[in-house]
């Protein structure tokens, strides 16, 4: 079993970032989050790159979320604030990539996977792809203001509410109809479709792409509220500790939340 990692590769003018932790459905460890940040920064610093493709290894998941074993060490709400700040730092690096970004989703894209896919300009998925953020039925934690703005802006507030407030897992076909997905492609045709999309995106004027992305990014995150007190309350709660324990124990029943 190989160590969980981010694989980064450049082929001509296309960068490939692969989430490589298939034994855990590509759940991101702390080191993998930092690897994602560093790969995004490397792409932004390389003027020869015109397109970046993000993809999971193994054919069962894009990213299934975060490796939450580290949550057992949290002792206060401040730990949760620190965690969300670290995620925001990594995700901000993806937001800031000045070239066209494509998420290739084969299987699950939940939690952090939904966040990363939502940061990309386009999403291509296989028919079995599933999307969601059922944290209210599993861990009992919450998202940062940046994550809410990113996911809600890409997927739409009504669908985002279904994912978080109802814990729904939404199939690819529904998200194609809503415009969140650009294409649904059979697995055997996926590589050719991605290659075609990369070629078209790479032909675009790079300054046009850069300017458009920078403008949209500023619009998306303008005037975000300060919700640190809310984040601290959630991560400092008994409900959160109970959710982490149940998740790691693989308890299938939804925890009995108390609101404290």
pLDDT in tens, 179-229: 999 999 999 999 999 999 999 999 999 999 999 999 999 999 999 999 999
Q: Once rounded to an integer, what is the mean pLDDT over residues 224-235? A: 98
Q: Give the pLDDT confidence score for residue 1 in this predicted structure.
A: 64
Residue 208 domain-assigned?
Answer: no
Residue 158 domain-assigned?
Answer: yes
With bands split at pLDDT 50, 70 and 90, how would you rate the model's confidence at 245? very high
Which residues is 6 bridged to in the sheet? Answer: 19
**Exposure class string for 116-135: b at 16+ Cβ within 10 A, else e:** bbbbbbbbbbbeebbbbbbb
Q: What is the mean pLDDT of the chain?
A: 97
Residue 135 domain-assigned?
Answer: yes
Residue 36: give the domain boundaries: 5-186
Contact 81, 43 (CB under 8 A): no
| Three-state secondary structure call for residue 63 | strand
pLDDT per residue as tens digits for the range 124-159: 999 999 999 999 999 999 999 999 999 999 999 999
Residue 122 domain-assigned?
Answer: yes
With bands split at pLDDT 50, 70 and 90, how would you rate the model's confidence at 100? very high
Q: How many angstroms separate the Cα of 26 from the Cα of each of 56, 58, 74?
A: 7, 8, 23
Q: Once rounded to an integer, what is the mean pLDDT over residues 108-115? A: 98
Residue 91 domain-assigned?
Answer: yes
Which residues is 105 bridged to in the sheet? Answer: 125
Q: How far apart are CA 12 and CA 149, in angstroms?
A: 33
Q: How far apart are CA 108 and CA 222, in angstroms?
A: 30
**Exposure class string for 12-41: b at 16+ Cβ within 10 A, else e:** ebbbbbbbbbbeebbbbbeebbbbbbebbe
Task: Look up the CATH number of the domain holding residue 9.
Answer: 3.90.226.10
CB atoms within 10 A of CB 209: 18
Residue 252 domain-assigned?
Answer: no
Q: Once rounded to an integer, what is the mean pLDDT over residues 83-103? A: 98
Residue 221 domain-assigned?
Answer: no
Pairing of β 100-105 and β 14-20: unpaired
Residue 165 domain-assigned?
Answer: yes
Burial class (CB in 10 A: 0-12, 13-18, 19+), 98: buried
Q: How many angstroms separate the Cα of 194 from the Cα of each of 85, 96, 108, 184, 207?
A: 32, 22, 18, 11, 22
Q: Which residue do the tokens 């966040």 mark?
A: 115
The total number of structural domains that make up the chain = 1
Q: How far apart are CA 187 and CA 129, in angstroms?
A: 11
Q: Give the pLDDT confidence score for residue 252 in this predicted structure.
A: 87
- The answer to whether the Cα torsion of 171, 153, 63, 228 is positive or negative is negative
Does the pTM surpass 0.75? The reply is: yes
């Amino acid at each position: 079993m190989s160590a969980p990692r981010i694989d980064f590769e450049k082929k001509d003018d296309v960068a490939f970032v692969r989430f490589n932790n298939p034994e855990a459905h590509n759940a991101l460890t702390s080191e993998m989050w930092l690897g994602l940040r560093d790969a995004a920064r490397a792409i932004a610093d390389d003027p020869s790159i015109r397109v970046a493709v993000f993809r999971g290894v193994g054919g069962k998941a894009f990213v299934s979320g975060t490796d939450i074993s580290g949550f057992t060490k949290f002792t206060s709400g401040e730990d949760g604030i620190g965690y969300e700040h670290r995620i925001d730092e990594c995700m901000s690096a993806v937001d800031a990539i000045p070239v066209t970004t494509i998420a290739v989703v084969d299987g699950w894209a939940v939690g952090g996977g939904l966040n990363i896919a939502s940061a990309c300009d386009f999403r291509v998925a296989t028919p079995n792809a599933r999307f969601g953020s059922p944290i209210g039925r599993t861990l009992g934690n919450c998202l940062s203001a940046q994550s809410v703005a990113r996911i809600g802006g890409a997927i739409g507030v009504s669908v985002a509410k279904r994912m978080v407030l109802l814990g729904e897992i939404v199939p690819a076909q529904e998200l194609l109809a809503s415009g969140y997905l650009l294409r649904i492609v059979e697995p055997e045709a996926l590589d050719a479709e991605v290659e075609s999309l990369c070629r078209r995106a790479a032909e675009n004027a790079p300054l046009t792409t850069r300017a458009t992305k920078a403008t949209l990014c500023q619009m998306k995150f303008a005037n975000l509220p300060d919700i640190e007190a809310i984040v601290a309350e959630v991560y400092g709660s008994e409900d959160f500790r109970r959710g982490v324990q149940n998740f790691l124990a693989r308890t299938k029943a939804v925890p009995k939340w108390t609101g404290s």
